[in-house]
Amino acid sequence: MLRKQRGFTLIELLLVLAISGTLAGAFVPSVFQYFRLTKLTNIRVDAAGEIEKSVAKLSLDTEMAATAAVNAGTLTMTWTDWDDWSAGTGYARWDDFRSHTVSYALVDTNLRRTYDGNASTVARYLSAVTFSVSGRVVTVSMTVSPEGTNWPAMRRDYKFYLRPVNEEARK
């Protein structure tokens, strides 16, 4: 009496292994490439976000600044505003004013902002930053090169306008 045998033949097993090996050989590299591109894209988006973050700070500072100058690659802006809370009275007097100074400089690959003596980093991954002042217009060019990528550098140019000066008040 012959028993019915169960299982797969050797040919069937080899055929399944060959098909799954072919599929894995085609699929696995594309999965690795997908994850690599996602990582590189995230790095590039982060680098662009660094520029936007620094532009926000520059915009606020130039809106307040009355003067701007560039010296040895450092942008320095100054202004004076009312300081009506320093005396604790809640109202301004004619002599309640305070001068402010802010400067921006590229240190290594970081854009450093120094406001009234307090330094902070406002952008990273920058390979070049140039400042220029013409009249009441501040022009800033930033080039970002994300670390670990061979993608071309991304350059952005911005123009900021200093706050208007009331010539009558200066007389």
The whole-model pTM stands at 0.69
The ranges assigned to domains in the chain are 11-170
Query: What's phi and psi for 159, nearest 5 deg?
Result: -120, 135
- In angstroms, the CA 37 to CA 79 distance is 45
Burial 45-59 (b: 16+ CB within 10 A, else e): eebeebbeebbebbe
pLDDT tens by residue, 26-84: 888 887 777 777 877 777 788 788 889 899 999 999 998 999 999 999 999 998 876 55
